[in-house]
């Protein structure tokens, strides 16, 4: 009888751990910050995205309980030719004033094409306030 109880306790522990790990990857949409609000943190190190022909059309930021930060970003290629988007061409501004590029990502765009993509900004303590490019 003790072997059966032991096996059930092991099975319960494994199922609990798997369920907990799955919950770690749940992302929730964060409240958006209006574009009408001016947020001007000092940028003494001149950290900026690489110049590109991409423009942010809109974005939705998400976070997990563990501090994971992601954003669904819609970009448009403003060029008359095809371009390859690379992750260093878009940055996120965080609530502490830090600016960061997303994890490595590439996407080919045709001229004038509009594409949405999910970009990951890793684990951060503070939320994303804005997503931006530099033309």
**pLDDT tens, 20-42?**
444 457 999 998 777 778 889 99
- Residue 120 to residues 25, 30, 46: CA-CA distances in angstroms? 12, 14, 22
From first CA to last CA, the distance across the chain in angstroms is 71
> Whole-angstrom Cα distance, residue 56 to residue 133?
7
> Whole-angstrom Cα distance, residue 34 to residue 41?
16
Partner residues linked to 130 by β-bridges: 93
pTM as predicted: 0.79
Which of residues 89 and 2 earns the better pLDDT score?
89
- Of 36-40, 43-47, 53-57, 77-81, the range with the lowest mean pLDDT is 36-40
- pLDDT value of position 53: 97
Instruction: List CB contacts of 108: < 8 A, sequence separation 6 or more.
Output: 82, 83, 84, 85
> Which region, left, alpha or beta, applies to residue 98 given φ > 0 means left and ψ of -120 to 50 means alpha?
beta
> Whole-angstrom Cα distance, residue 18 to residue 40?
43
Burial label, 76 (beta-carbon count in 10 A; 0-12, 13-18, 19+): middle
């Amino acid at each position: 009888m003790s072997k059966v109880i032991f096996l059930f306790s092991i099975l319960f522990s494994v199922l609990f751990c798997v369920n907990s790990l799955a919950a770690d990857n749940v992302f929730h949409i964060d409240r958006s910050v209006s574009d009408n609000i001016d947020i001007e943190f000092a940028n003494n190190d001149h950290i900026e995205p690489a110049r590109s022909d991409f423009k942010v059309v809109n974005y939705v930021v998400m976070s997990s309980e563990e501090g994971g930060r992601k954003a669904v970003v819609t970009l448009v290629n403003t060029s008359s030719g095809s371009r390859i988007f690379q992750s260093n061409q878009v940055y996120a501004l965080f609530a502490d004033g830090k600016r960061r590029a997303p994890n490595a990502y590439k996407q080919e765009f045709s001229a004038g094409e509009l594409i949405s993509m999910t970009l990951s900004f890793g684990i951060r303590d503070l939320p994303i306030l804005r997503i931006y490019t530099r033309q």
